[in-house]
Structure 1
Amino acid sequence: MIFSWASFFLAFAGFFCILWLKARETAQTFKKLLLTRGESWALCEEREIIDRAPSFPVDSLYYLKNFLHPDSLAKIELAIDRLIRENLSFQIHVHGKESDAIYAFEGESLAGKSILWIKNITDTIHRERLHAETIQKNETLLANLQTTLDALPILIWHRDEHQKINYCNSAYSIAVQASCKKVYEDGIELIQSRFARILARKALNTGENQNFESVAIADGDRRYFRICEIPNANDQGTLGIAYDITELNDIRTEIKRLIHAHDEVLDHLSTAISIYDAEGMLHYYNQAYVNLHSFDEDFLKARPRLDEVLEELRSRRQLPEYADFPAYKKRRLQQLKEQVDPQEVLMHLPDERTLRIFSAPHPMGGLLFMFEDVTDYLALERKNKTLLDAYQATLDNLFEGVVVIGSDNRLRIFNPSFIRLWSFEGEDIKPGQHLTTIIEKLKDLFDYEENWEPYKAQLIENVTDRVPKTGQLKRKDGMIVNFRYLPLPSGDHLLSYTDATDTCRVQQALQERNEALETADRLKSEFIANVSYELRAPLNTIIGFTEILSHQYFGNLNERQIDYINGVLESSNKLLHLVNDILDLASIEAGYLTLIPQNINISTLLREVAALITKRAEANRQYIVLKCDKDIGDWFLDSRRLKQALFNLLNNAIKFTPAEGKITLTAEIKEGMLEISVIDTGVGIVPEDQTRLFEKFERGKNIIHMGAGLGLSLVKNLIELHGGYIKLFSDLNKGTKVTCFIPQAPQQYDSDATKALASPPHE
């Protein structure tokens, strides 16, 4: 029995040892397991901590209140209670009491005990928050980027390594009229797919941007795009961009057209033009530039540099001589890059030409040069200056007072005679003075009525109304001034003044004398006309009885009696002819003589006139030659008066042509005028007598036969009644030619015309 109890106790002790060892081993294993988490832990039984890691912040759950924030403490106490009573595990994030630290608190139930873990996760939480914020920012940035890309008017897309589009913006979608999803699925391209992918593949292979311009249909319209594929080394894809450059292309086309038109205009200018770029290369030249320097055009077509052009000009002596020519070339090349303002210089060439060279920066870079040969211009300018100096000297020495008033009514030009004529002194008159000021200074010289202002206004209007006029002013001091106003094309006003006091006095005296002479001449003409009328009746009686006696109606007469009778008859006819001429002249001067025109055959009229004078010519051993154009036809005139005029001319020719002389009567039409000429081979007329022979009672100094001097005066008046005129050509001792010029009269007949008061011409 003793053995049994001893064995029992021994067995029990052994079993207990085994259990203790196992429990110890289990506890050690459990502790090792807790230590492997690397966190602060505590092993609790009920609410007592039976074991803990050194880093666990408290040795009793009671002291958690000193470690945790009150809000977190309430949460953790509730969780521990439920863990102890209900074995409910928990995981809670709690905050420290006196810091911003954040802890992860966990609790589990194991083998009837509670295990608590605590870990400071402040940095982790901050990292997580930062990561979340970064993600949020990236998502916002991505959304903004997407919105921005969609808002851009530029087409944007992305291709993967197989050149397939995996992204596009709204502009691309609108352009191809498909949704972005459909673009990705169907691979819809802006341009032909083959060309687009070749461009993208080339960008990947070369690693360089590839640009291409092409026409494409965008949103149903034909547009012009600049397409760029950019390699993306990050994903072996490419980024595509397409700019709508339709307007730019239109502008470029318009610029090309304008440049072409501009070049055409420059080509037709007479001004020589050349354009060099910033590097000195000849960019443009016109034909005038070729002609100015006599260039070989093949040389210019090669687009030489400016220094080469200068060398060419120097070799042909079309540049001035420069001591340091290389330095000159260098300055000219620097000028292409440094000049910012237009410049103008004169260049005098060895061939005595002078060129004006204008240079200005060109919008496309470089300089534009304009060359103008001003040799003739400068010579003309010198000549013009000389002329202006001569005109100024002439103006200063004119007897007339000359003044020019500007369009603003201010004095511009005046000469010394103007100052002297109007008695100005010193600073009384100077350029720029207003017209009213000048007139005001002359107030005392004008003879005006009571009110000066209206008179002054009228004076100003007279010299500024731009109506040409002449007139005369009578000043208070007795001087008489002739003035002339002429508006100038520039808008200025030209006035000239002349002292006409003495001239007016002489003119008045001459006028009074002329009136006396005219009165005497009128009385003489009236007396002669009255006497002529009184002589005509007895002359007709004498002629009548003499003709009866000459026909021997009352008996035969002896030879001497017949000679006496013929002499009386001839003298009576001459006297009657003279009386008729006097009456005709008096009728013309009084305006009583009126033509009775009708259609007359000129050839017939000339033959009739020649027949009247032939016997007298034959008696003087002279012969008459008649010349008349065959096509002269009829002419509308008064044949009676024209016969009278021609008879007088032929009669004069017979008088002054010696025996065996020739008298020619011609008629022709030139420039719509009938020209009838009487040409003789007589003694001629001295030049000083030719201008006065057509006046009444005038005779030449070298005459052989005396006459009354009325024939040519009557002829002149009769021709002028026909609307014509008369000319006389004479060489002394060679002969005389008198030509009557008669225009074609209107084809009408004046039934009320007064018949001529004079009788027809007589032999």
Structure 2
Amino acid sequence: MQRLFTSSEMVGFSLVIGILSAALLSAVWLIRQRGTLEAESQEMRSALSDARQRISRYQAIIADKNRRIVIWDGNDRKPEFLGQLPGETGAPQAESEFLAFGRWLKPSSAGELDKAIERLRFDAQSFDLIVETNHQEVIEVQGRLSGGRAFARFVALNNLRAELAELKIERSRLKASIATFEALLDAIEQPVWQRDTEGRLVWVNQAYSEAVEATSPAQAVTEEREILGTVSRERIRATSTPESPFHEKVSTVVRGNRTFFDVVDARSASGSGGMAIDISQAESLREELTRTLKSHADTLDHLATAVAIFDRDRRLQFYNQAFAQLWQLDTPFLEARPDNSEFLDRLRAANKLPEQLNWKNWKENALSVYRSFETQTDLWHLPNGQTLRVIASAHPQGGATWVFENLTEQVDLETRYNTLVRVQGETIDHLSEGVAVFGPDGRIQLSNPAFRALWGITEAEATPGTHIRSIEAACAPSYDRPDGWKAFSKMITSFDDERPSSQGTLELYSGLVLDFAVTPLPNAQTMLTFVNMTDSVRAERALKEKNEALQKADELKNEFVQHVSYELRSPLTNIIGFTDLLKTPVVGPLNERQAEYIDHISTSSAVLLTIVNDILDLATVDAGIMRLEYAEIDLDDLLDDVSMQMTDRLQENNVALEINASGHLGQIVADPQRLKQILVKLLTNAVNFSPEGSTVNLKCWREGADFLFNVTDHGCGIPQDILATVFDRFSSNSKGGKRTGAGLGLSIVESFVSLHHGTVSIDSDAGRGTTVHCRIPSAAVPQSVAAE
């Protein structure tokens, strides 16, 4: 029975058939590809064989000993080397040493080649170079790029190519040298030129073009601007030869100014070249030097110091008048330019040099200045008593200058100065005042024993050179206050332009009282002086205390006098009043004795009242409270009043009063009461000392606005030892007087005259009488009087 295929079987069968068909097709394709690959492989083997054959041929060609190739594949890969260079070139055979070009190439070639290879590899710049080895061989180097690789071919040249390369190198070297020299000549300040065989300019430098006022050297050459005149150029052309170049000073005009050039022109087969050196300044300096030397000679000729100049041959070249006067040598001898040795021998023969035990050695030592680079100084004590300081200095160009300085007066002055310093030092050391001198740096320079004793410091602590700070510390135990040494330090070390002096007083802890003075001295020095005023101060203090006590006592006295005077006036006024009342008939009659007693009481009371008034007036004057009552006074009326008031006193003493005055004395402005009191006091005093039957003279006159008068008596006079005290209070000269007073009259007169701004004086001779002179000036008219 026939079986039928199911659908699933049909699908499986189809898949098997497809797979077999695909495998069969793949096998067929692979067989065909294998044949193709075998054919291509055979072709590649043939090509590789051909390439290897070609590389072998190329390597055989490259492997020549005259060239070497270096190949760089990429920037970081190691280079490949092909071929070698001949050993005589000096190129190393080892690959590791070949690229160290600095070891076998000349430095200039090595540097240039390194830069060229670097530009080839990194900037793709080809190059062609000719380099030199240290063995003086020439190598051609070519740099190229191909297929991303960099090639550098080194070829050793020989024969004509080597010679040609060497010529190229020499040409480059010569061009570089010429360019260097031209740049150098362009940089210098001297004009330089080059001419051809016909004398035409070929080349000039920048200084030449500036000298001929051209904008550039090319313009100067093109326009043939000449720096030298025609005559100068012709003389150069006629005299200059290759063996003997032209070399002279030439004058020409440059930029409108006359200029002197030192011209050098050398001739050769191809032309000539020259240089002009500006020597105008040198000529000016030479003339200035000549004038300066003449001026110096004139100056030295007027010096008081002897000067002589010897040239390099040791012959006298110059001397001044002081030199001739010092040595008193013949003028012909000096003008003959004697040798320095001959000059010394001449002085020795004339006994004008110091005596020497070994003359030869002394003279040789003196003349050694010509072989020395240092100035020699010596002292010559001449036989005539002069002392010379001899200064000999050699010249750099040869020769020497001798200076003879006369120190005779200086030595004498120095001796006297040293003596004076010693005397002053001894004087300062023996002063009782303490003295210390400080320099501008604040260090003590000298001090005397009195200074150290006053401050209680030792001589070691005040050694010269000790700073004032140390002195301050040493003196601190005696006095350590801001107004002491701290103030001294500030004044001494101050940098002020003006250093003021200072004075004052210090009281040390020990009780010593010192007066100090800070005195600036020349050269920024400062002197401190201390005077021991302890005894004086103590005496002064005692006197002040005593004076204060006296003043207090005087004040008490004045207060007592004023008080007592005012207290006494009231009872005295009552006594006088009741006495006058008792004299009147109202009380009743008095017997003779009672009347006599009443008269004595009245007289004594009046005298006592006068004394009390005088004392009160003096007390008022001393207190400064008395004021004058100025008014216009008719002097004639004043004299009449005084005369009337003195009548009783004159009759009582049997003395006459004579008034001598001009017909009309006029008026004066003064205090009427006080002026009248002055006259009465003087007349009363004169009457008291006048003998009975004598005359008291009152003489009055005017001098301008002043009223002058004097009172003269003919009594016993005033002794000279008492005359100086007559104006003192309570000073009474009772000898020869009829009445003894309190001694206040003349004192009151002097006080009242002084209040009027007048003067009073006394002339007296014992046994001849006394004269009192007074001058009362007229005061200004009071406003109330002027108004009337």
Q: TM-score of the superposition, structure 2-length normalised? A: 0.48
TM-score (norm 1): 0.50
Q: Which has the higher contact order (CA 8 A, sep 6+)?
A: 1
